[in-house]
Amino acid sequence: MSTAAAKRAAGCSLRNADSDDLDDINDVIAAAMDTWDLAERVKRISLPLYRYQPHDLAHLQIVVAESGASGIVGVAALEQASAGDFPAEPSMSILHGLYVDPAYHGKAVGSRLLKRIEEIAAATDASGLLVKAQQEAVGFFAHHGFNTLPVEDESRDYPYRLWKRFS
């Protein structure tokens, strides 16, 4: 799908987030998490850990997808990785989160957010992008060129880590 076609299909625009967006961003995160295959108790306990706070804007690059009719319908956050996250690479970024309102699933919102995050990361001279995904999202990232990393240390490695090298 071309960029223009994706934009029309999604009916939204992308922009950098600011502190005024945090309530809407956190609403999207809650709606997205509600679709995850987790026990309701786990979702309730985990949700506060996924919410973004004002101080996160100082450490993360957050991009939102916004629909004129619905407001913010998607969010993606990028952070610079430390050497311990993936020591084989000299410079990399981590996709901290990618969330899309369930009403906008299948409308290229997640794909457009991911592409924007990749562009931002590549502009910082990162060699690639690492994501720690939910199991249900592994197929999405594989479709976008990410490769699954093996679990080398079960006590340390998240089981659904994926990596995409920039060329």
Read off the pLDDT of each residue in 107-136 and give the average, rounded to a whole number: 92
Q: Which residue has the higher pLDDT, 112 or 5?
A: 112
Q: What is the pLDDT of residue 31?
A: 95
- Decide if 36 is inside a domain: yes
- Decide if 77 is inside a domain: yes
- Decide if 167 is inside a domain: no
Cβ atoms of 70 and 109 within 8 Å: the answer is: no
Domain containing 73 equals: 3-123
Nearest to 59 by CA among 88, 80, 33: 80
- Decide if 150 is inside a domain: no
Read off the pLDDT of each residue in 80-93 and give the average, rounded to a whole number: 69
Task: Give the CA-trace dihedral at 40, 19, 126, 104, to 10 degrees.
Answer: 50
pTM of the model: 0.87
What confidence tens digit (pLDDT) does each residue in 143-158 have?
999 999 888 888 888 8
CATH, residue 61: 3.40.630.30
Read off the pLDDT of each residue in 133-137 and give the average, rounded to a whole number: 90
Q: Tally the domains of the chain.
A: 1
Core vs surface per residue 147-160: b (16+ CB within 10 A) or e: eebeeeeeeeeeeb
Q: What angle do CA 153, 154, 156 make, to 5 degrees?
A: 70
Percent of the chain with pLDDT over 90: 63
Q: What is the pLDDT of residue 8?
A: 43
What confidence tens digit (pLDDT) does each residue in 31-77 have?
999 998 889 999 899 998 999 999 999 999 999 999 988 899 999 99
Q: Which residue has the higher pLDDT, 38 or 5?
A: 38
- Decide if 129 is inside a domain: no
The structure tokens listed for 32 are 């997205």
What confidence tens digit (pLDDT) does each residue in 6-39 have?
444 457 999 999 999 999 999 999 999 999 888 9
